[in-house]
Chains A and B, each alone.
Chain A
Amino acid sequence: MTPIPMRTLGAMLFAALFIVHGLARADLALDTRLKKLETELRCLVCQNETLADSNADLAADLRKEVRELAVSGKTDDQIKQYLVARYGDFVLFKPPVKPETWLLWFGPFVMFAGGVAVWWGIMRRRRRDAAPGPPPAGEDGAVTRARALLDG
């Protein structure tokens, strides 16, 4: 076997580094994407933990499943759909807006609007009550005299 010339060896080494570097970058991008996705998914065993944080066995399995789906080319939405089909909307930390969740999403705003309406009504009534009406009948003279005294 003839020894490989130094230059060829160098070129091969460079090519290898280039490939590894490319792979590592692709991997890093996937990792960041998965990390973000996993923080939006709930672990069903320990319900207030995200899939990313949970140590539960099922969470590890689901992370594996999510990674495989991502590698196979599924988009984030498709992966979420996949999990929702099996575990329900509860796996999403952010519940989707649909008729069943309207109360959840808009209830607080409706309540706030109701509060504002009540407050506005009360203020309007107070203002109306406080506004100077026509002077009570029979006391015309008294008011004029009082005003004259005050104005000096």
Chain B
Amino acid sequence: MKLLRWSLPLAIFIVVAGFLYVGLFRDPHEVPSPLIGKPAPAFSLAELHHPDRTLATADMRGQVWLLNVWASWCVSCREEHPLLVALSKAGIVPIIGLDYKDKPEDGLAWLGGNGDPYTESVVDLDGRVGINWGVYGVPETFVIDKAGIIRYKQIGPLTGDALNRKILPLVRELQKS
């Protein structure tokens, strides 16, 4: 009883302090997506480079791929762009670009100036596909497996760290299965 009298408040203090401490390092802007582990919302959209052709999620079945949501008006997209270009040169995984709420001509000009890392880009003019994918802050990057299940979502610009520690190991693992 004597022991409980000081050890119980101490234990409560440690638990509360632990929660608060962990909370210090979490970004409240990163809302975990409920779509992880769920089938990727289907879309069929006009391609940026060939407006008369469409690309659908179904076309990507059977391979691991990345969906990178970007736009010419998006400032932090510039930040991650060199990484995407390098990733595309390495040819590890197809990257599909979703040009989100952007004028196609602006998107094309932007890719012309900054380099085009995308296997193919599709245009989401009204942002409806973005809503279906739970996009709320461009850029965002999704990893989709061979069966069309979303396995990972990066909110905000890609970083070398996120790419090397999470995305690429995950892609390799998914490609093996």
Real complex partners, A and B? yes
The listed residue with most B CB atoms (<10 A of its CB), out of A44, A65, A85, A86, is A86
From B28, B34, B127, B128, A87 is in contact (CB under 8 Å) with B34
Query: Are B131 and A65 touching (Cβ within 8 A)?
Result: yes
With a cutoff of 8 Å between Cβ atoms, the chain B residues found around residue A93 in the complex are none
Beyond A45-B137, A61-B131, A62-B131, whether A86 also contacts B34 by CB under 8 A is yes
Q: Which of B33, B131, B132 contacts A88 (CB 8 A)?
A: B33
Name the interface residues of A75-98: CB closer than 8 Å to any CB of B.
84-90
| Given the contacts A44-B31, A47-B29, A86 and B127 also touching, CB distance less than 8 Å | no
> What residue in chain A is nearest B133 (Cβ atoms)?
A86
**A85 and B127 within 8 A (CB):** no
Chain A residues with CB under 8 Å of B131's CB are 61-62, 65, 86
Question: Is the Cβ of B134 less than 8 Å from the Cβ of A86?
Answer: yes
Contact assessment for B32 and A88 in the assembled complex, using a CB-CB cutoff below 8 Å: yes
Q: Is A129 an interface residue (CB 8 A)?
A: no
Contacts of A44 in B (CB 8 A): 31, 136-137
A44 to B136 CA separation, bound complex (whole angstroms):
6
Q: How far is the CB of B76 from chain A (nearest CB, A)?
A: 13
Bound-complex Cα distance A53 to B152 (A): 31
Contact B28–A47 (Cβ < 8 Å): yes
Q: Chain B at the A interface: mostly helix, strand, loop or mixed?
A: loop
How many angstroms from the CA of A58 to the CA of B136 in the assembled complex?
A: 7
A139 touches B (CB below 8 Å): no
Q: Which residues of B contact A62 (CB under 8 A)?
A: 131
Specify which chain B residues have a CB less than 8 angstroms from the CB of A47 in the assembled complex: 28-29
Q: Give per-residue flags for B138-164: 1 if the beta carbon is below 8 A from chain A beta carbons, else 0.
A: 000000000000000000000000000
- Among residues of B, the one whose C-beta sits closest to the C-beta of A48 is B28
B9–chain A nearest beta-carbon distance, Å: 9
B31 adjacent to A87 (CB under 8 Å): yes
Partner of B132, one of A57, A84, A86: A86
| Complex contacts, B31 vs chain A, CB 8 Å | 44, 87-88, 90
- Give bound CA distance, A62 to B29, whole Å: 18
Chain B residue numbers with a CB within 8 Å of A90 are: 31
A93 to chain B, nearest CB (A): 14
B168 at the interface (CB under 8 A from A): no
**Residue with the greatest number of chain A CB neighbours at <10 A, chosen from B126, B133, B134:** B134
Are B136 and A61 in contact (CB-based, < 8 A)?
Answer: no
Contact B136 A87 (CB under 8 A): yes
Given contacts A86-B134, A90-B31, 14 further A-B contacts (CB under 8 A): A44-B136, A45-B137, A57-B101, A61-B126, A61-B127, A61-B130, A62-B131, A65-B131, A86-B34, A86-B35, A86-B132, A87-B136, A88-B32, A89-B34
- Between A and B, 20 residue pairs with Cβ closer than 8 Å are A44-B136, A44-B137, A57-B101, A57-B127, A58-B136, A61-B126, A61-B127, A61-B128, A61-B131, A65-B131, A86-B131, A86-B132, A86-B133, A86-B134, A87-B34, A87-B134, A88-B31, A88-B33, A89-B34, A90-B31
